[in-house]
Amino acid sequence: MSVITLTTDMGNSGYYVASLKAALLKGLPDANVVDVTHTIRPFHVSSAAFIIRNVYRQFPEGTIHIVAVDSLNTPNSKVILIKTENQYFIGPDNGLFSLVFSAPPTDAYEITISPDPASLAFTAKDIMAKAALHIANGGNITEIGREYKNYVLLTAWQPIYNDATIRTSVVYVDEYGNCIFNLEKRLFEQVRRARLFNIDVKRNSIEKISPTYNDVGGGELVAIFTGSGLLEIAINRGNISELLGMKEGDSVLISFEG
């Protein structure tokens, strides 16, 4: 049974998601269609990238991920398919996938399926779903796409650092108001070199990385590394986004002693 995941900015109140699912199930009735989320803020590719980055490895090999965020059709629009780690990713060429993977995937294709003139604006249903069905039915990628190396690259998740400091930015705010940053544990430890440090969060200081939220008292600031290896700053049993006004794009400065 093929697993096809859906991540979109279509919301849950209209017919778009149902129409997309109908197209998939009509072409492959026994497909296991999994909703990751449909509540990404419209056109917000960094949020979609963060969610896919954190969840895709939990799905079985061969899973096909449709990521229809900021996917409105334009004369210059391209839909791409990326194969990596024995999984498939289909979505618009808007830079989203460059934020999902730590290293740029080598197997990337531009989908060449001709759109239906009657549904040009619904790229997810008219092109992405058809590509997913082709792959799920055992078709060869080269039958629906051509090799594509120049897909859009974004640098939103690149912290700025030198020997003494790291400036890292919020890339995602979760449902609890916790802020996730574009700093991987590997880079943090590489720059830190076992030195003491201070994280300046809106003039509040954090001087250690904790194993869990409850390592500090209720209402206190805490810094941890998430399961995906990214820095997270939160308030234990509180909402840092509301209390300190932290939002996507805000940055903090980490300073190292010595």
CATH classification (class only), 3-147: alpha beta
DSSP character at residue 126? I
Interatomic CA distance for residues 94 and 154, integer angstroms: 9
d(CA 255, CA 87): 39
Cβ neighbors of 10 (< 8 A, separation 6 or more) are 16, 17, 20, 38, 68, 124
In this prediction, residue 77 carries a pLDDT of 77
The set of residues, in sequence order, having a beta carbon less than 8 Å from that of 118 and lying 6+ positions away, is: none
Structural domain 160-256, CATH architecture = Beta Barrel (2.40)
- Report d(CA 80, CA 6) in Å as an integer: 15
Q: Position 122: which residue type?
A: F
Q: What is the pLDDT along the chain (258 residues), one digit of tens a residue?
A: 799 999 999 999 889 999 999 999 999 999 999 999 999 988 888 889 989 998 999 999 999 999 999 887 655 679 999 999 999 999 999 989 988 887 778 899 999 998 776 655 688 998 999 999 999 999 999 999 999 988 888 765 689 999 999 999 998 899 999 999 999 999 999 999 999 999 999 999 999 999 999 999 999 999 999 888 899 999 999 999 999 999 988 999 999 997
197 with 208: CB under 8 angstroms? no
HSE (side-chain half, CA atoms, 13 Å) at 41? 9
What are the residue ranges of helices labelled H in 129-198? Answer: 129-136, 185-192
User: What is the reported pLDDT for 41?
Assistant: 87
| pTM attached to this predicted model | 0.83
Give the CA distances from residue 72 to residues 78, 85, 100, 117, in Å, rounded to whole numbers and listed in that order: 10, 28, 20, 14
Phi first, then psi, for residue 220 (nearest 5°) are -100, 150
* DSSP helix/strand/coil, 122: coil
Residue matched to tokens 């990404």: 40
Per-domain boundaries in the chain: 3-147, 160-256
> Which single residue is written with the structure tokens 């619904």?
122
Distance CA 12, CA 81 (A): 25
Query: What distance in Å separates the CA atoms of residue 231 and residue 80, rounded to the nearest whole number?
Result: 30
Give the per-residue pLDDT at 74.
52
